[in-house]
């Protein structure tokens, strides 16, 4: 046995690559990790060619393989085996990753709705705009109708008449 699976599991994977059956992602990654390398493919091909004088000798040579070699031999016949394992892993992990992302998206949507509905935030933004207009124009001239988020960072730099007292605490509601 290889990876704790029966010998017929590799046959199942070869015949039905569209479904991973009852394999979990750890087992799929282990099976993918043990796909034959280029050198292993060459060695198995060479061994099979030497032993394949007749169909009977070919079957005997394959039966002499251990479970892992049988798995490698079976997987050599599968086109794009690595990509197929990748697809099965994606399919297996998709629902879990989707649930994780949906929780984050739901939280983000909820936060956006709270920001949009907040009357205190609107009042604060109006006060900041009024303060910025007062500082920039002295109360006369063309008034700004909005500000960038970068301007909020400059609010901490604005000082009251008393130089040690920043103006930011005066905006608390």
Residue 11 has pLDDT above 70, yes or no: no
Q: Which tokens belong to 111?
A: 């936060």
- pLDDT digits over 16-38, tens only? 455 556 778 888 888 888 888 89
Q: How confident is the model at residue 166 (pLDDT cuts 50, 70, 90)?
A: low
Residue 31 phi, psi dihedral angles, 5° rounding: -65, -40
| CB-count exposure of residue 3 (10 Å: 0-12, 13-18, 19+) | middle
Q: Is the torsion defined by CA of 162, 165, 171, 172 positive or negative?
A: negative
Give the model's pLDDT for residue 116: 93
Q: How confident is the model at residue 154 (pLDDT cuts 50, 70, 90)?
A: confident
Percent pLDDT > 90 in the chain is: 14
- pLDDT digits over 66-78, tens only? 888 888 888 888 8
Q: Enter the DSSP assignment of 65.
A: S
Helix or strand run (H / E) with residue 43: helix 38-51
Mean residue pLDDT of the chain comes to 78
Residue 9: how many other CB atoms lie within 10 Å = 21
Per-domain residue ranges for the chain? 8-114, 119-171
Q: How many Å apart are CA 173 and CA 161, to the nearest integer?
A: 21
Give the model's pLDDT for residue 118: 94
**Residues facing 159 on adjacent strands:** 166
Q: Which tokens belong to 85?
A: 């394992």
- pLDDT digits over 86-97, tens only? 988 898 889 889
């Amino acid at each position: 046995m290889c990876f704790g699976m029966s010998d017929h599991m590799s046959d199942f994977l070869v015949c039905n690559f569209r479904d991973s059956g009852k394999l979990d992602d750890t087992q799929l990654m282990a099976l993918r990790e043990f796909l034959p390398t280029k050198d292993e493919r060459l060695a198995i091909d060479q061994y099979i060619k030497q032993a394949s004088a007749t169909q009977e000798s070919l079957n005997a040579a394959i039966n002499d393989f251990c479970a892992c070699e049988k798995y490698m031999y079976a997987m050599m016949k599968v086109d794009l085996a690595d990509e197929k394992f990748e697809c099965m892993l994606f399919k297996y992990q998709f629902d879990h990753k989707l649930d994780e992302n949906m929780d984050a998206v739901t939280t983000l949507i909820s936060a956006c709705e709270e920001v949009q509905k907040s009357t205190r935030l609107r009042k604060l933004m109006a006060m900041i705009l009024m303060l910025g207009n007062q500082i920039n124009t002295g109360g006369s001239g063309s008034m700004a109708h909005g500000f960038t988020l970068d301007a909020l960072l400059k609010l901490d730099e604005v000082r009251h008449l008393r130089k040690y007292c920043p103006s930011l605490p005066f905006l608390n509601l």
